[in-house]
Amino acid sequence: MKKILAIALVALITMSFVFAQGGSETTTTVSESGFNTSEVLTFVIPGSTGGGTDLAIRTMGEGLQRLFGLKINYQQMKNTAGHTAVKTAAPDGNTIMLATAALNTQYVTGSSDVNPLEDLTLIACLDDNGYSVLACPVDAPFNTFEEFVAYAKANPRKINAGMPAAGSNTFLFGKLESVLGIELNHVECASETDRLTNIAGGFIDIGVVSLGNAQSYEKAGKLKVIGTVAGDGVTIADSGVELGDNYKTLQEQGYSDCYVLCMHYIYGPKGMSEEQVAKLNASFKQIIEDPTVNEGLRKIGHIPLWHDLEESKKIQMEEYETTVETAKFLGLYAL
């Protein structure tokens, strides 16, 4: 009987050792990537289906699944709901999101109480959200951005600029107005579809559209392009598409201060460990540098980038402070 018990005890110890070794391997995997590969990763999408944020998240998600073997649960929500869901999640790295400028604009204008600097953990500053194309009706009284500025200065508040009541494009035009010393007449035109229709019909004089739509509508003779707005130092050649001089960024056209930081950021809940955040940041470097992910982001008009934690925080703060300044200029600051 004692012999049987001894054998059973040895077997139990051996099984415990094997189990512990297996657990150790899992821990090592998690430790290397920062992800808990035994759990489903919830990737919150704070935006509409088929939009730039949605497409970017799913492109990165494919890389996360392929490179790290993660199982992903995509949660599609409206901006504010998505931001709140991440804010209230457990700080274990199992819930993250890709956020855009809307996180800042909604907070500083008072439409959301999620403070991007205090209520979340910044994991990485990633791809630039791409180019904002300035499009006008074909019969607009200006053919270049320089002519547009001259006309705007000579005719304050006479140019109807289509934009949301308080969205990213509102802040883009606000920055241009403050930098250039011009005054536009803000006309509510929230969706890109509405802006394209109103530009083609001559109901608004200028609006922001995507690079792809600008090209197709220009080719059809429904609008003309006078320039693009992008991040600091970005050129139109960075798009990888051969385009005419009218697509050059405003900086390339000589307006050095006419740029808009519109980055994508990976956030998690407040309270995540510094060690895990550092490892997640490094893992997203692998994602961005993966050829398939990199090409996929470029195809949707984004500029793939990665920044370490120190640089990510600097960029985050610069974008946030610019948003505050522009909100005050527009009379939308609510804090």
Could you please report the per-residue DSSP string of 126-160? EEE---EEEEE-TT-S-SSHHHHHHHHHHSTT-SE
**At 234, which amino acid appears?**
V
Question: Strand, coil or helix: what is 46?
Answer: strand
Q: What is the pLDDT of residue 5?
A: 41
Nearest-angstrom CA–CA distance, 154 and 27: 66
- pLDDT score of 14: 39
For the chain of 335 residues, list the mean pLDDT of each consecutive stretch of 10: 42 38 40 89 91 90 96 94 97 96 94 96 92 96 98 98 90 96 95 93 96 93 97 90 95 96 94 97 97 92 93 96 95 95
Counts of helices then strands in the chain (DSSP H, E): 11, 10
- Report whether 170 contacts 108 (CB < 8 A): no
Read off the tokens for 4.
């049987």
d(CA 24, CA 150): 67
* Cα(266)–Cα(255) distance, integer angstroms: 30
Its pTM stands at 0.83
Amino acid at 36: N
Are 83 and 30 within 8 A, CB to CB?
Answer: no
Q: What is the pLDDT of residue 168?
A: 87
- DSSP per-residue letters across 198-265: HHHTTSSSEEEE-HHHHHHHHHTTS-EEEEEE-STT--GGGGSS---GGGSBTTTTT-TT-----EEE
pLDDT of residue 11: 43
The closest of 241, 275, 263, 280 to 322, measured between CA atoms, is 263
Q: What is the pLDDT of residue 163?
A: 94
User: 98: left (phi > 0), else alpha (psi -120 to 50), else beta?
Assistant: beta
What pLDDT is attached to residue 89?
A: 98
- Yes or no: say if 267 and 176 are a contact pair by the CB < 8 Å rule: no
pLDDT at 25: 38
In whole angstroms, give the CA distance from residue 319 to residue 175: 12
Question: Quick one: which of 194, 212, 208 has its CA closest to 136?
Answer: 208
pLDDT at 75: 96
Q: CA 335, CA 316: separation in Å to the nearest integer?
A: 18
Residue 195 near residue 186, CB atoms below 8 Å? no
DSSP, res 303: B
Cβ atoms < 10 Å from Cβ of 5: 9
pLDDT in the model for residue 15: 38
